[in-house]
Structures are given as C-alpha cells and as structure tokens.
Structure 1
C-alpha cells in the first residue's frame, strides 16, 4: 500500500479542481503549455511543508507521469538497470538498450546538491551516453551541461510535452505515432 503523500494529494486535488476532462481536452488540442502552467500555479507548491526543491521536483515527476499517460506517450517510470535508478524513460527500457538515440531519460534530482546530482548523472551517462537524451527537471536550473527544464520562474517545464513530441516524432519506431497531442 502506498504511503500518504501530500505532494501527490495536492496534484490530484488540482487535477480534480481543473477537471480531468478539461486537461485531456487541452492536451488533445496541443495546449499543453498553458495547462501545465495552470496545474503548477493552482497547486500552490510553496504552501506544502518540507524542502521546496524536493517538493517541486517530486510534484513535477508525478505530473509528468500523469501527462505522459494522458497524452498516450509511451514511457516507463521508476525502473532500475545495472543498479542505476531511472525516474522516467521514453519510450521504454528496451529501446534504451537497443537504440540509445531513440530513448530519452527524464531525471528529477530532488536536491540542489551538485555533488549528488553529478554523481547520479555520471551513472545515467553509462546507460545513456547521448547527453542530449538526458533531460533534467529542476525547480531552478543549476547550469549543468544537460537539457534542463525549470519548474519555477519562467517554467520551461511547461514545454516538455511538446519537446518530447518533437524529439520522438522523427524516430523510426511506430510506438511514437500514437500521440494524443
């Protein structure tokens, strides 16, 4: 049984307030940027207790899983390969093993400790050596040489679904052709 999570509870309260049907409709109409910004804004993450960096990045990971599912984008979440934890891989671990250029790893550090983040990135580099295919999602970027999506401020995170669609639409794998977006 899952432990109670105020972050996930807040996400699903916000989804319920906005309405799942409206979110699905916005995704289908390619309005993902505005709906992601609305979900983040209405969730009032700063009011949750605990470390704000961890809160924002955990929230973004949960939201990302929800959005990928809703947009019908193939992905796998919370998997381990060669004793390395992967937050989200698109489309799947099999593709990561067979065609690294066709797989994207989404990494939510949940810390601003550069030493810990860099150590984890070094491990991820061993299974995804194409640096451009490791995307960081952070409350605020720390200037690392990876594609980084910020949740706070300008909220470049709101562009991530469009970027995933753009990056994967040219791939040869047919599983990428079923996007709702």
Structure 2
C-alpha cells in the first residue's frame, strides 16, 4: 500500500513538474512550500477517494511528501533512524549527531499513522531520544493529543502545509544555515 501511495504522490508531483517545484522553492521557500504542500495533498486526496479517510494512508502520504519537500528545500534531515539507545525515529532535523550532542538544536518528527497506542508509542520513542519536549513534533491526518506540536491535515493549531517554513525557522533560530551542501 505504501508503494502505491508514493507512486500516486510522485505522479502528482510529476504533473506539476519537479523542476518547477524546486525552482519555486528556491525562489521563495516558505510561500512555495505552503502552496505546493497544500496543492499536492489536495490532489492526492481527491485521487484516493474513500482512502483519504484512512489515517495510515494519509500519514504515509504526509511522510513521503515531507521527504520530498525537505530535499527540495535543501533542509538537512535524516530519515528512519534508530538511535544508539534503540529509539526508532521517523525524521531527525538536522541530524542524529546534533541530536546526540546538542538536543536543543535538533527536531524529532514522528508521523502518526493511527490513534491510541500507536501514537503513544511513537511519542515515547521520541521522548527517549529527545529530552527537549518542545523539539518533538508530530504529523497526523487528524489532531492527536500528543503533548507536542502536532501538524495536521485538518483541524488543529498547526497546518501540515506550514511544516517546512517552521523547520526553516527552527534551524535559523538555532543557528543552523538550514541547507544541505550539494557536491557535484
């Protein structure tokens, strides 16, 4: 199922144009990231039909889109990592090295793909790796009581389409350049 969602996502991205998205994000990261995140989610949700009501489906879509947008915005991150203590994390910004040495300068982002115990377990894993509770963010289709900043597709205080600008602001506030160094 995850592969099918990623294929759908990349078909929508391709229909808009990867180069166009990257160019627009380079020119105005915050505005373009908000606009494209919302547009891509809306288009994919329309194509998913009733599956758009499934938290796992939409969580997978959000996670895959976030990976694409982090890369397009040249924001440093590590994905699907396991810490030395054994905590499984979905995304760490900017890196696990920073998380270990200076946790106040790192974000842990967990993607919630179900409610109840699954959400609680994801938060427990994040707290095991990140002592700064304000630096644990979650993404979910619908609001969850995570005790952290929760980015959602509908409802809630933080909109999913704002996560890239918020990551950039976090990195800038913590003194990071917030961009990847590409070597050709």
| TM-score category (smaller protein) | 0.7 to 0.9
Partner of 2:93: 90
SS at 1:88's partner residue?
Answer: strand
Unaligned runs of 5+ in 1: none
Shift of 1:14: 0.4
TM-score between the two structures when normalised by the length of structure 1? 0.87
- Cα distance in structure 2, aligned partners of 1:122 and 1:64: 22
Unaligned runs of 5+ in 2: none
Instruction: Tell me whether 1:171 sits opposite 2:174 in the alignment.
Output: yes
**Measured at CA, do residues 161 and 50 of structure 1 come closer, stay the same or move farther in structure 2, by a change above 3 Å?**
closer
- What are the Cα deviations for residues 57-95 of structure 1, in whole angstroms up to 9, with x where unaligned? 111111111111111101000111122111000001100
Shift of 1:169: 0.4
- Cα distance in structure 2, aligned partners of 1:107 and 1:4: 17
- Cα distance in structure 1, aligned partners of 2:179 and 2:7: 32
- Cα distance in structure 2, aligned partners of 1:48 and 1:78: 28
Partner of 1:158: 161
Partner of 2:143: 141
Moved over 6 A (4+): none
Partner of 1:22: 20
1:132, 1:146 within 8 Å by CA — same for their partners in 2? Answer: yes
**Measured at CA, do residues 49 and 143 of structure 1 come closer, stay the same or move farther in structure 2, by a change above 3 Å?**
closer
- Cα distance in structure 2, aligned partners of 1:108 and 1:123: 12
- The match for 1:12 among 10, 18, 41 is 10
Shift of 1:4: 7.3
TM-score between the two structures when normalised by the length of structure 2? 0.86
- Cα distance in structure 1, aligned partners of 2:126 and 2:180: 28
Q: For structure 1, which segment, 103-112 or 44-53, has the greater mean C-alpha deviation from structure 2 after superposition?
A: 44-53
Partner of 1:115: 117
**Measured at CA, do residues 128 and 137 of structure 1 come closer, stay the same or move farther in structure 2, by a change above 3 Å?**
same
Aligned residues: 175
1:73, 1:178 within 8 Å by CA — same for their partners in 2? Answer: yes
Q: CA RMSD in A?
A: 2.2
